[in-house]
Amino acid sequence: MKYIKDFKILKNITISDDTFVLELQLRQKLPIIFPGQFVEVLINKSKNTFLRRPFSIHDVNTSKNTISLFIKKVGEGTEALSKYKVGDIVNIIFPLGKGFNLVKNKKVLLIGGGCGIAPLLYLSKRLNENNNEIHVLLGGRSKEDIIKIKEFKKYGKVYISTENGSLCERGLLTQNSVLKNNFDKIYACGPAPMLKAVAKIAKEKNTECEVSLENIMACGIGACLCCVVETKKGNQCVCTEGPVFNINDLTWQI
Ligand SMILES: Cc1cc2nc3c(=O)[nH]c(=O)nc-3n(C[C@H](O)[C@H](O)[C@H](O)COP(=O)(O)OP(=O)(O)OC[C@H]3O[C@@H](n4cnc5c(N)ncnc54)[C@H](O)[C@@H]3O)c2cc1C
Ligand code: FES
């Protein structure tokens, strides 16, 4: 079931020059939200963003009826959203797409690159409830891209790669030494080249792996076909059949 609702901005927290977190409250009780699902936000404070913008659900607080979004400013829509003030109202369609499949009692690795970190916090929380041993690998260009380390540490062990070496291991996320270890399952979100590199490692190690794709979207509900990805079951809309896919279902050349 999808809903179109007005949320009130409770917090707009600046994380770095180009990233921020919005905490948004719904008046009513939130429906069940699965990690990896996303929202489509109407941005009415800018002239050219009549199409809603998709964002992963970063965190959910069922006692406060809030969801959080971790957003990187890349264009007019996200720039406009960064300027919303506490008390402003934002119209949102949610929860959209199919999320990650949650395992129980396993050793899991969560990998987030750039704003691909966004869906992993709520995923960690839910995997922790399922008694999994959680390892989280976060990667970015510099330390400013790495967020919520303390919160991730509540759920598991955290590993970090930065391309400029400003925090922990220097280099690409896929070069991090934690990837030498074995895991029962890998969950990943980030840019497509990173996801392909993760998928290659997972295939070599014969590890189950799910990735969350961030194809460009417009409608978010399977009507415009602009988000299609080729899969072994034919072309599928990332907004309705994903954004989470098992790597074995994708036709990637890796
Ligand atoms: C399922 C899903 C979940 C997402 N989750 C998050 C999230 O949690 N946090 C976050 O910051 N961003 C997320 N994104 C990306 C986000 O939707 C775009 O950055 C946003 O729509 C850009 O809007 P804009 O008006 O600021 O930029 P635009 O003016 O629309 O575009 C500016 C630049 O950003 C690029 N861009 C636009 N959309 C995307 C996209 N979907 N993926 C990659 N590049 C894009 C454009 O090609 C262009 O170069 C997600 C995208 C999808 C599909
Ligand atoms: S965004 Fe319109 S079909 Fe997926």
Element (H, E) at 15: strand 3-16
The per-residue pLDDT for 210 is: 98
Which of left, alpha, beta for 218 (phi over 0: left; psi -120 to 50: alpha)?
alpha
Q: How confident is the model at residue 87 (pLDDT cuts 50, 70, 90)?
A: very high
pLDDT digits (tens, 9 = 90+) for 67-83: 999 999 999 999 999 99
- Please determine, for residue 253, whether its predicted confidence score (pLDDT) is greater than 80: no
Distance (angstroms) between ligand 2 centre and the Cα of 221 equals: 6
Residue nearest to atom 1 of ligand 1 (CA): 214
Query: Mean pLDDT score of the chain, rounded to an integer?
Result: 95
Q: How far apart are CA 54 and CA 81, in angstroms?
A: 12
Distance (angstroms) between ligand 1 centre and the Cα of 117 equals: 14
Q: How confident is the model at residue 49 (pLDDT cuts 50, 70, 90)?
A: confident
Q: Is 42 exposed, middle or buried (0-12, 13-18, 19+ CB in 10 A)?
A: middle
The per-residue pLDDT for 16 is: 85
Q: Please tell me the least confidently modeled range out of 41-45, 121-125, 126-130, 206-210.
A: 41-45
Share of the chain above pLDDT 70, in %: 99
Q: How confident is the model at residue 34 (pLDDT cuts 50, 70, 90)?
A: very high
Q: Is 37 in the pocket of ligand 1 (CB under 6 A)?
A: no
Which of left, alpha, beta for 50 (phi over 0: left; psi -120 to 50: alpha)?
alpha
Global pTM?
0.95
> Which ligand has the shortest distance to the CA of 237?
2
> Ligand 1: which of 74, 93, 145 to mutate, judged by most atoms within 8 Å of the beta carbon?
74
For the residues 38-48, what does the mean pLDDT come to?
91
pLDDT digits (tens, 9 = 90+) for 105-133: 999 999 999 899 999 999 999 999 999 99
Residue nearest to atom 35 of ligand 1 (CA): 74
What is the DSSP secondary structure assignment for residue 36, as one 8-state letter? Answer: T
- Please determine, for residue 48, whether its predicted confidence score (pLDDT) is greater than 90: no
pLDDT digits (tens, 9 = 90+) for 1-21: 999 999 999 999 998 889 999
> Ligand 1: which of 37, 78, 241, 245 to mutate, judged by most atoms within 8 Å of the beta carbon?
78
pLDDT digits (tens, 9 = 90+) for 136-173: 999 998 888 888 899 999 999 999 999 999 989 999 99
Residues, the chain = 254
Locate the ligand 2 atom nearest the alpha carbon of residue 228 and give its number: 4
Give me the amino acid identity at 75: G
Strand, coil or helix: 61:
strand
> Which ligand has the shortest distance to the CA of 95?
1
Q: How far apart are CA 120 and CA 192, in angstroms?
A: 16
pLDDT digits (tens, 9 = 90+) for 219-247: 999 999 999 999 999 999 999 999 999 99
- Please determine, for residue 216, whether its predicted confidence score (pLDDT) is greater than 80: yes
> Which ligand has the shortest distance to the CA of 69?
1
